[in-house]
Amino acid sequence: MADLSLQHRRGLVRHISIFISLLAIALAIPNYALAQSTADCDDQTEQADQSDQNCPTPLSRSLGAIKAYVAAPLHWNTSEWLYFGGALAAIGVAHHYDSQVRSHFTHNSGSALSTSSTDTLQDAVPAAALFVGTWGYANLVDDSDGRREVRTMLEATVLSVGTAYVLNYATGRKAPDQTTDPNRWWSGGSSFPSEHTTAAFAIGTVLAESGGDDYRWVRRVLGYGAAGFTAYERLKHDAHWLSDTVAGGALGAASAQFAMNRRRNADAERVSSVELTPLYRGVMLHYVVRIP
């Protein structure tokens, strides 16, 4: 009965954290997507009738991002496939050391299997601090580039964490606070990959690789430092195996690169485009360059 009660508490904590995460995402996406849609339309022209502009809606932007994300592997180049292969190799190597890393943090204590983790929210603080700090600073100095960076962080986090949840339930891996066997796959668990690490690397990578190069080292120390610390804390708190955090880091970083590439492509399209203008008995093809 004690084990059943423990499992019930663990499940309750996890479902509450998932509910809070989904609620935050549900509240945040429409506001940021609407702001982005409005900004894009404003960038196009200040004089044109808004009803004549093909401005995306929050729903269409969200669906478009998901569709592009799912189809992304179809368009990968050689370097991106090499990155994917390298990530798989790194996860495999990490899996080899799963038991040793767990023993390092738990000292093979039998009580580790009977301790319910209470660090779920605590370990989300570093990533949340990066996100809130970037958002607060961008609004404090009224920086439009900073606000776009925040929206990119949000997109990368939603896409990567959503993928992580799918993988959680598809693999069913037991966490190290549930079993001493790192090969308990398809057993009703939800350990692989680490959602905290995924979100931290999604946010941290966007912070590290966005903006100018003047303070690049500061951005990378903050971004990758917070993400790495999150992964360490999940191992220290016996919440995940080493390979869970490596997989989460790769997923978060890759999703961040995807979101940043989408942002760059969207910015390029706003700066220049090829357009067709209807004329009497024909059309005119012309190249438009918009000067900020």
Residue 22 has pLDDT above 50, yes or no: no
Mean local confidence (pLDDT), 90-107: 93
Instruction: Name the amino acid, one letter, at 252.
Output: G
Could you tell me the pLDDT band of residue 211, with boundaries at 50, 70 and 90? confident
Gyration radius of the chain's alpha carbons: 22
- Looking at residue 106, its pLDDT comes to 86
- Looking at residue 265, its pLDDT comes to 78
Q: Is 5 exposed, middle or buried (0-12, 13-18, 19+ CB in 10 A)?
A: exposed
Q: What is the mean pLDDT of the chain?
A: 79
Q: What's the pLDDT tens digit per position in 231-283?
A: 999 999 999 999 999 999 999 999 999 999 988 877 665 544 555 566 655 65
* CB distance 245 to 158 below 8 Å: no
Distance CA 227, CA 202 (A): 8
Nearest of 183, 225, 177, 235 to residue 203 by alpha carbon:
225
What are the backbone dihedrals phi and psi of residue 180, each rounded to the nearest 5 degrees, phi first? -95, 0
User: Which residue has better confidence, 155 or 279?
Assistant: 155
Please count the other Cβ atoms lying within 10 Å of the Cβ belonging to residue 112. Answer: 17
Q: What percent of the chain has pLDDT over 70?
A: 66
* CB distance 256 to 205 below 8 Å: yes
Copy the structure tokens of residue 105: 């943090």
Could you tell me the pLDDT band of residue 121, with boundaries at 50, 70 and 90? confident
